[in-house]
Chain A
């Protein structure tokens, strides 16, 4: 049963610290998305990659957030320095882009709390 995995599942950190979240997309998927979920804003796109190349990162605060795909099996989202307003659930999703298929498969999320 293929699924997207994310680590860590929970992270509590203090303001100013660096946070790194990791995602393993479903094997064979060529598109990876990072979304952030908060009560106020709902689900927002942060960035996404196609074949490991960034396609859109306009949703990310560029001064503190960075997203990378070092290889096809790993996507990372880094926040440095973290701030209390970054507290949210961060989801990674992956998909296989083919004509007529648009399903995005979400991971279980990383719940981040910045104190």
Chain B
């Protein structure tokens, strides 16, 4: 079964707006939570990742918020740009170097 649930399935945001994608998990053994970005015809690429010892991580316009008690984490894209239009996947894993459990992805479209 899907170990990481992701929503929404698709998202349309105006340029300059904030894009928010949410993920939830059940397995409390998960200790690494990356977000991957995928453009059409390309493989997924790591965007940003967080471990449960912090509640937030920011890299440029991208921020992960992590709520350990609720077993939820989210990606916020500030000042969204048309170039951010892509599919975003959240993922989780329970040990270093182990396979990722992916959410089903969110297709983001940022309109000019």
**Which residues of A are interface residues toward B (Cβ below 8 A)?**
4, 31, 33, 42-45, 48, 50, 56, 91, 93, 95, 97-109
Residue of A nearest to B6 (CB): A42
**Which residues of B are interface residues toward A (Cβ below 8 A)?**
32, 34, 36, 41-46, 49, 89, 93, 96-97, 99-105
The reply to whether B96 and A100 contact each other, CB–CB distance below 8 Å, is: yes
Q: Which residues of B contact A101 (CB under 8 A)?
A: 96
The reply to whether B105 and A104 contact each other, CB–CB distance below 8 Å, is: no
The reply to whether B105 and A42 contact each other, CB–CB distance below 8 Å, is: yes
Q: Which residues of A contact B89 (CB under 8 A)?
A: 42-43
CB distance from A84 to the nearest CB of B (A): 22
CB distance from B33 to the nearest CB of A (A): 10
8 Å CB contact of A102 from B42, B49, B103: B49
- Complex formed: what's the CA distance from A105 to B100 in Å? 12
CB distance from B67 to the nearest CB of A (A): 20
With contacts A43-B44, A102-B34, A103-B34 known, what are 15 further pairs, Cβ within 8 A?
A31-B97, A42-B104, A43-B102, A43-B105, A45-B100, A45-B101, A93-B43, A95-B97, A100-B96, A102-B49, A103-B46, A105-B46, A106-B36, A106-B43, A109-B42
Q: Which residues of A contact B104 (CB under 8 A)?
A: 42
A33/B99 contact (C-beta < 8 A), A107-B43, A109-B43 known: yes
The reply to whether B44 and A91 contact each other, CB–CB distance below 8 Å, is: yes
A56/B99 contact (C-beta < 8 A), A42-B104, A42-B105, A102-B49 known: yes
Q: Which residues of A contact B45 (CB under 8 A)?
A: 105-106
The reply to whether A108 and B42 contact each other, CB–CB distance below 8 Å, is: yes
8 Å CB contact of B43 from A91, A97, A103: A91
Q: Which residues of A contact B102 (CB under 8 A)?
A: 42-44
